Every structure is written in structure tokens, then in C-alpha cells.
Structure 1
Amino acid sequence: MEQLFDQSELVNSTLKANADALLAELNWFEKVLQLRSAINAGSVAESTSIFDVQPPDLSQSNSSYGRFLVQHQLGFADRFLLFLAMVTQIKPQCLDIFLVQNPQTGQIFTEFGGRKGNVFSGFLPTAETFLFLLAADNLMLRFDLLKLFDARNPLFALNVLEYEPLPPGEPISSIPLHINKNWFEEFTTGERSKPRFSADFPAHLIETNMQYEDLVLPEHTCEHLELLDSWLQHNKTMMNDLGLRHKIKPGFRTLFYGQPGTGKSLAAAVLGKKHNLPVYRIDLSRVVSKYIGETGRNLSKVFDAAENQGWILFFDEADALFGKRTNVSDARDKYANQETSYLLQRIEDHNGLVILASNFKQNIDQAFLRRFQSVIEFPMPQASQRALLWEQGFSPLIQLEAKVNLNDIAQKFELTGGVIINVVQYATMQMLKAGGKEIRQRDIVEGIKRELKKSGRTL
């Protein structure tokens, strides 16, 4: 009960810090709106500048918003742009002043920019709204402020602000301003919600109760995994503090290969758990579409959502897309190869850890393998490893029948960790069904028979 109270206090403290920071920013934002109105009405001295209203000092704030401002050294204009994109979700009524209609046209004043939403009845700002508020008719200042919409601006480079491509002929000032859902959650609640599997996000979150130390793998596999562990721990230091950002491509790409049940998915899950990073599994055999261009669109949604989030992307059944490329015999083959090349480029540009998984290394095109930083084998476990998997598999709260010898079973049956867990589950259910208190030898053997039969083998 005490632990729950402590967690609640921590959540409340985070929410309060975020709310206080955003309230201070809102007060500053509203003062800028008031000053712009006064300047336009000519009720203040001609020398008055919109930049006279200084933003609040949030350098000592414990809020997510304050830390972001400090980390990226955002100035007056950047901060105003960011908050303008957020304000419709914080205090939408403060933009109602822009809903006044031009009596000559019957529409919103063109210089205000903005638009109506499909459902939202208030004023949705655009880039023109931002330019009007800070620059009005000052062309030199407007041109300078347009530089903020460069893709290298942290607000866009980190996908904090996002916008859809404009139709041909539309001015850049008509760009709708809105904040990325994940970043808005971080600035307000302090944590981001995890996306659910859908047509717009064809990936499943994979989690485990096991720890990194629970992995039972050969030494050479563990050594390779330690490289991934080290990259997850030190990547930011290497790229930022050591200045390698302009010399090394972002992200890390690796191939896991080995038979089903040898621990590929589990290794990805425990790596994510150790570093507090979500792991999303994409089954390429289900995502790949027979329709030209559809696969690219499906997977682009995953990459777009994962951009700069630190997520680990785990592509299962990688052979379905990154297998040996087809000979170009018709237009469909040509587009399929172009689509694969495009997606490979997205993988190379992704700044997180990308894991491709396959049952067989030789199924993956060698041209793709050369672009990976590591290739890790997950072999069939040896007898000593199988014995440990059997021992760890059964609940410590149950007893094994006296004649059960797990070392003998491990020596006799060459099984993967995934198969062993299935047998453990079967034998445990049989014990509970019989109302007994011990795992029986015959149930373990029957469970093994059932698993072998799945792959066409017998005892």
C-alpha cells in the first residue's frame, strides 16, 4: 500500500510540474496575442516590438516541457511556434479572436491564416497565423521566420511538429500546425501511450516477465547481444558527446537467425526491458501485400510512428521481404524490388535499433546483409543449456515425480527453448487436471511426443 502511495505522489508531482510550466507559457502566449492586437490597433508606441514580452524562465523547471526547451535551446520564435501548435488542446478559446469574419468576404481574414477542423469548431492555426502574430507586415522578419520550418529545426527533425504535404500550388504559409500526439502526451502527462495494432500501425508490442540475465544462449550469441546492449546504453554519448553524428549513420541494424523457438523474439524483448524501451514486432509474412506499393505504405506507417521514439523494431519472417531478390521479368517484379530497396533505405535511416529475424541466414539477400552491423546466430541449445531450460521452465512451487530426471531428458531430446516451454505447460495442465501435486514423467514424454509430431518427427 505504501508503494502505491509513493507512485501516486510521483505521478501527481510530474503532472503538477508539467501543468505549472504550461500555465506559465500560456500566460506569456496570451500576452503576445494582446500585444499584437494593441500594435495593430495603434494603441502603443511605434517602437513597441512583439519581442518585448519575454517568455518565462523554465530553465529550472522539472517539467518535460521545460527540459525540452533547455535541451534544444529554443528561443522566442521556436517556443511561440511550439506553443501555438499546442494551444488548441490546452486553451482553444484563446484563439477565438481569429474567428471574426471579414465583412467584405464573409470569411476569416486571410492574414490570420487558420482553418476549421472536421469536428473541432474552433480556430486551427497555420503557419500564416504564426507569421501574422510575430511579423505581421514586416516582410524581412516573415522571411526570416520561414526558416524555422526547415526540416533541420529540432521541432521538425524530432517530429515534435508535423504536417501533411501541401497540394501543388499551395503557399507554405498554409501549413496546418499541430503537435505530434506522443510529444503532447510527454509534455502534459510525462509519458507516452503505446500505439495499438491497427491498419495504421501493423505492429504488436512484445513484452516479457523475464530478465536479460535469464537468457539461456551459447557464449558466442551472448557476446554478440552484448554489442547491442552496449549500443543501446552508449549510443547517445557516442553520437552527441563524441561528435560522431556526422560520421556514423544513425541507428543499428542486425539480423537474428535460427530455428523457431531458439530465443530470437525473447532476446529482443529482454533487451527492450533492460533499457526501458518498447519493442514492436512486425510479422512481414502478414504485412507484405500482393498489391504494388501497399507493403511500403503499411510499413512506412510503422517507421513514421517510431521516428525518434527510441523504439526497437523487430521484423519477424524477414525472408518475406528481404529474401533473395527476384529477376525482373515483368513490371510487378520491378516495382517489388523498388519497394524493397525503399524500405531498406527506411531501415538504414531509422535512428533506433532494427532487428530482422529469419529461420535461415542463407534466405536473406547478401546485398542486405552487408548493410547490417551484426549478424547473430541463435542455434539449437546444447544438452547443458536444455537442462537449464527444463529446470527454469517448471514452477518452483510444484514438485517433479521422483523418477523425472531432467538431465536425462535434456540429453535424449534435442528441443528448442520454445518447445520445452510448450511441454512444461502441457505437463503442468495435466497435473492440475488430475488433481495431483507432482509433474508426472509420462506427461512430460507425452508433451514431447505432441511437439515432435507438429514437425513430422517421432520419438
Structure 2
Amino acid sequence: METDLVNFIRYRLDIELKNKILDPIEINSDSNNFELSQFIKAHKLSTPEIVTMLIALVPHLSPEFFSNIIAEYLPNGGDFPEFGGVKGKNHRGLLPTGETVLYILAGYDIEKRIELAKMFEEDHLFAQKSILYVEPVPAGEPKMSGRLIMDDEYVDLFTSGKVSKPKLSSDFPAQRISTNLEWTDLVLKDKTLDEVKELETWLNFNEQLMSEWGMREKIKPGYRVLFHGPSGTGKTLTACLLGKYTGRDVYRVDLSMVISKYIGETEKNLSGLFNKAAHKNWILFFDEADSLFGKRTNVRDAHDKYANQEVSYLLQRIEAHQGLVILASNMKGNIDSAFTRRFNAFVEFDPPGVAERLKLWKVYMPNSNKVSKKIGLEELAKNYELTGANIVNTIHYAGLLTIKDKKAQLDKNALMAGIRKEYKKEGKIFQK
């Protein structure tokens, strides 16, 4: 398709710079790039839309592409503002802008340029699927002078045939999390497990309800749920397992990168996150959500005013998000009531009782040949109030201690040392 784009650009330059009279041309939708060709056919893209995608993609394949074509028509150099384009910090070639698209497709035809500019509006496929956009420009500069940017995921898809996972950065304040554990490794009270299974039902069948039952216009998009309970009771593991068994990526939002002391920056960070997550079927997991979703304050100064605006903005984005959003908090009462009214469900993660603690000890202990038979797990479960995370930490510490002391088996003394360490960490009184 690169050759087709060359011909399309030359067609425009022949008309505008050489005053040639030419018949309109179409671009070939077939390509040796399977992913690109399939995408064009699946979405029934028009010629202007195909050309726009190629203009956005080509700098990633041929850095000199635009400069070489322009040099054919302006061999002595010179400024060519009509064509648009800017220089990058590292890229030495010409990077296309919105003006580049309008010039190639419409030349100086004002009415046609206005019509084509609609490709960059919010209701167009490009924005709805976060395919490409025109970068915002400083106040006072023409909107179409912003760089034409294709989303990294589509660049990866059309250049390498696969999509790489986004990585934690200032532009994407979330990190993919996963687990090798199974549902059988998650020890919860029956009431909590039943509520978690309801979320799995939503993930598996909601799209069918929306599409086949015609409920898309009648039910709010997305699903919002609060996981609340003490640390170490399985909230993060549950989110990972929901993703694993429904074929969805789970992204834990790093709130330290979202919240900014600068006015407007928090909204910007959140906007980038939700824009990236749109149409991806991801599960967004806000751990320790109290810091951002906590109770709003009375307005005493400008800082309070903007903090409350951040909460309001977040409410809007969460309500509009079409996927599953999980907020995790140690205490339900810490979350602003404006949020709780909008949750579809609450899942309480209680500290494990004796029966659950016994299951946890059995699930996470090493192979039996590595453990002394003198250890009474029932006694440990009954006497020591530990969460699942505490128990895992205890076994981890005891195992390392056993290896360090060159013992063949993990014994009760090593476990007690681990339990004592967990109690001390949480400020609890340890009694052997």
C-alpha cells in the first residue's frame, strides 16, 4: 500500500503544483499486510480513511517517505507550509500533521477540508477505537497543525502482526498483573466466593445480553464493584483470577502516578488511562483506592475545589467506561458516598476464620517431604489469626530459614519465627 500512498500524494502535488487536470483516483484496499488489509475490510473504510491511516503509519516504516516525495517537486528546497508536517525530537524526517491529511485529500478545497476534518471527531471510528488522533496544540495555533499520531498498539499490529502490552509509564499509569494460581488456591468464605462468581457471570455473558437482547440502550455500560476488607484477604488475587478465567488482561492502576499536585494533571492522567482502556476488555483494578476515591472535603480553598473536581471527573469516566472497574479499599466507610451509590456490587473480604486459615495453611505449605510431620496445622489455624498474605509470608520466611540452617525439613520452630515476624510487623502481641 506504500506505493498507492505515493501515487495518491503525487496526484495531489501534480494538481496543485503542476496545474495538471487529472481524474479522481481510488486507493487499493488489498495489501500484502494481512492485518491492515483485514482491518480495512472489517470496518469498511473509505478511501479518505485508508489514506489517513497510511499517512499516520508510514513514518514508522519509512522515515524519509514524505521528504523524498516533496524533494521531487521542490528540488531546490524551500518552505511548503500547505503540506503541513513537523520535525520530531529524534526523528529526522517529516512527521505528518492533520494539515498533511487535509492537503493530500482535499488540496485547497475548503468545503472538502471541513468535511474531512470530521474524521478526527469523537464519534468517528478513529476516536471510538483509539486508532489515531491529531495531537492537541498550544492555545491559539490551528487545531489541524497537531501531529497525526497512531496508537502504539495499532502500529505494532500493522508492522509486526502482534500487539505488545502497554507498560507502566507517566502516560500509562497502570501495570498488568497476573497469577499462576487457580480458583482452588483462593480461599474465601462462601458468601464472598458467591459474590465473586457473579462478577465472572457478568464478564462472560454481559456482551451477549447487550447485543442479542437489545439492552445496550437500556442499561448503563460497564460494571463497577468495590472490594473491601483488610489487607491480605485476597482482593488482588481475586482480580487476577477473574481476568485469567475470562480471558482479560488486568491492569492495576498506580495511584501515585495518577494523583498530581498540579491543577488539571490528575484529570489528564486519568483521561489517558481510560482512553487507552476503551474497547480493550481490560479489568481496571484501583488498589488502595481511598487516596483518590475518598470522601470529598468541604471547599475551604482552591486546592479543595480542584480536588473535588478530580473526584467528579473520575465519576464521569468510570460511569462511561464499558468494562469492569474494581476499587479496592481496606474499609468500605472510607469511600465517598457519591461513588458507593454508583457501584453495581460490593464484595466484602472478611479476615479468614479457623476453617479458612486451615485451608490456607494446607494450600500453601511445601511438598510433604519438605515439612516435618510434627507440625499441627489445625493448631496453627486455631491459635493464630493470620490473613492469607500473612500465611504465605510466614511459610516463605520459614522455608528460607530452614535452607539457611541446612535442615532437611521445615519444622514448627521455623514457622513460629515467621508468625512472630508477621505479628510484629502488624503491631500485634505474639503469644506462643
Tell me what 2:348 maps to.
Answer: 377
| Deviation by residue 1:278-333 (Cα, 9 ceiling, x = unmatched) | 32223536754555444434444433443433332211111122222222233322
Consecutive unaligned residues of structure 2, counting only runs of 5 or more, are: none
Tell me what 1:48 maps to.
Answer: 23
Q: State yes or no: 1:72 paired with 2:43.
A: yes
Q: State yes or no: 1:95 paired with 2:88.
A: no
Contact in 1 for aligned 2:57/2:155 (Cα 8 Å): yes
Q: Which amino acid aligns with 1:50?
A: I
**Aligned pairs for 1:412-451 within 5 A:** 412-451=383-422
Closer, same or farther in 2 for the Cα pair 1:137/1:296, shift >3 Å?
Answer: closer
Q: Which amino acid aligns with 1:71?
A: A
Contact in 1 for aligned 2:173/2:255 (Cα 8 Å): no
Select between 410-419 and 90-99 the one with higher mean Cα deviation: 90-99
CA RMSD of aligned residues (A): 2.8
SS in 2 for 1:66: helix
Contact in 2 for aligned 1:98/1:123 (Cα 8 Å): no
SS in 2 for 1:280: strand
**Aligned pairs for 1:189-268 within 5 A:** 189-268=160-239
| Deviation by residue 1:213-260 (Cα, 9 ceiling, x = unmatched) | 432212222222223223333344444454444333332211100110
Closer, same or farther in 2 for the Cα pair 1:171/1:190, shift >3 Å?
Answer: same
CA distance in 2, matches of 1:178, 1:285: 27
CA distance in 1, matches of 2:209, 2:61: 37
Tell me what 1:328 maps to.
Answer: 299
**Aligned pairs for 1:32-431 within 5 A:** 32-40=8-16, 46=21, 48-51=23-26, 54-57=27-30, 63-96=34-67, 97-98=69-70, 107-284=78-255, 288-290=259-261, 292-396=263-367, 398-431=369-402
CA distance in 1, matches of 2:258, 2:88: 32
Closer, same or farther in 2 for the Cα pair 1:129/1:331, shift >3 Å?
Answer: closer
Contact in 1 for aligned 2:234/2:388 (Cα 8 Å): yes
Contact in 1 for aligned 2:231/2:330 (Cα 8 Å): yes
Contact in 2 for aligned 1:285/1:320 (Cα 8 Å): no
Contact in 2 for aligned 1:160/1:179 (Cα 8 Å): yes
Select between 35-44 and 357-366 the one with higher mean Cα deviation: 35-44
Tell me what 1:30 maps to.
Answer: 6
Contact in 1 for aligned 2:56/2:96 (Cα 8 Å): yes
Question: TM-score scaled by structure 2?
Answer: 0.89
Q: Which amino acid aligns with 1:260?
A: S
Q: Which amino acid aligns with 1:317?
A: E
Contact in 1 for aligned 2:96/2:148 (Cα 8 Å): yes
CA distance in 2, matches of 1:338, 1:365: 13
Give the deviation of 1:212 after TM superposition.
3.5
Contact in 2 for aligned 1:257/1:377 (Cα 8 Å): yes
Contact in 1 for aligned 2:398/2:410 (Cα 8 Å): yes
% of aligned pairs identical?
42
Contact in 1 for aligned 2:248/2:281 (Cα 8 Å): yes
Select between 358-367 and 287-296 the one with higher mean Cα deviation: 287-296
Contact in 2 for aligned 1:431/1:439 (Cα 8 Å): yes
Select between 443-452 and 298-307 the one with higher mean Cα deviation: 298-307
SS in 2 for 1:50: coil
Give the deviation of 1:101 after TM superposition.
8.4
SS in 2 for 1:355: strand
Closer, same or farther in 2 for the Cα pair 1:393/1:308, shift >3 Å?
Answer: same
Question: TM-score scaled by structure 1?
Answer: 0.84
Closer, same or farther in 2 for the Cα pair 1:188/1:250, shift >3 Å?
Answer: farther
**How many matched pairs?**
429
SS in 1 for 2:285: strand
Closer, same or farther in 2 for the Cα pair 1:38/1:63, shift >3 Å?
Answer: same
| Deviation by residue 1:255-274 (Cα, 9 ceiling, x = unmatched) | 10011000001111222223
Closer, same or farther in 2 for the Cα pair 1:274/1:89, shift >3 Å?
Answer: same
